[in-house]
């Protein structure tokens, strides 16, 4: 594992969605953590928004971004727990064309090393929607740091070897035989 020095860095466009009934952009620490890491890595923060813990609002925002040719990846934060208001996985998993079980498994492995068995209180998940990668993270800044620093920054870097998500992005919709996102 490592970087292929012969490959040039490829900047991608990433949108961040915070799911919360109480946060604003001014006090959204998790969304800010992700935004800072995205731009710090050389990627473009394509958009950032906050929606309440509502299945329809979450789904509509992610579907809108997944249909936008200017957005390659969506990262959500919040709403992955077990309280009655936590509905982000319910909003997004039904629209996943492909589910990314490995993301959840690796996230929980990393999280376990930091917070022990408390990691089971998160339903972090990932998948593909309209040929766009979607990652669903817990709402804590620590969980966002762990997911970005240990998984996403590597998989969203074209130079990362032996493989990464950036190199397969052009092929996510090849089953549709159109070659571009619609």
Q: What is the CATH number of the domain that holds 86?
A: 3.40.980.10
Range of the domain at 11: 2-176
On whether residue 45 sits in a domain, the answer given is: yes
Residues contacting residue 58 through CB under 8 Å, at least 6 positions apart: 17, 19, 51, 76, 79, 87, 88, 91, 92
Q: What is the pLDDT at residue 1?
A: 76
How many domains are there within the chain?
Answer: 1
Spatial CA neighbour of 113 closest among 77, 85, 87, 149: 149
- Retrieve residue 65's tokens: 């971004």
Write out pLDDT tens, residues 37-84.
Answer: 999 999 999 999 999 999 999 999 999 999 999 999 999 999 999 999
| Global confidence as pTM | 0.94
pLDDT tier at 177 (50, 70, 90 boundaries)? low
| Confidence bin at 179 (pLDDT 50/70/90) | very low
**Is residue 181 situated within a structural domain?**
no
């Amino acid at each position: 594992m490592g970087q292929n020095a012969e490959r040039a860095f490829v900047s991608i466009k990433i949108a961040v969605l915070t799911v919360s009934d109480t946060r604003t952009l001014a006090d959204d620490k998790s969304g800010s953590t992700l935004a800072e890491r995205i731009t710090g890595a050389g990627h473009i923060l394509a958009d950032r928004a906050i929606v309440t813990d509502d299945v329809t609002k979450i789904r509509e925002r992610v579907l809108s971004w997944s249909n936008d040719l200017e957005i390659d990846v969506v990262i959500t934060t919040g709403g992955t727990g077990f309280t009655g208001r936590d509905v982000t996985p319910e909003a997004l998993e039904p629209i996943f064309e492909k589910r990314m079980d490995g993301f959840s498994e690796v996230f929980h492995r990393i999280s376990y090393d930091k917070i022990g068995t408390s990691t089971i209180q998160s339903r972090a998940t990932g998948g593909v929607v309209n040929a766009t990668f979607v990652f669903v993270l817990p709402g804590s800044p620590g969980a966002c740091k762990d997911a970005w620093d240990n998984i996403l920054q590597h998989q969203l870097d074209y130079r990362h070897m032996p493989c990464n998500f950036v190199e397969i992005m052009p092929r996510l919709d090849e089953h549709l035989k159109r070659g571009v996102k619609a």
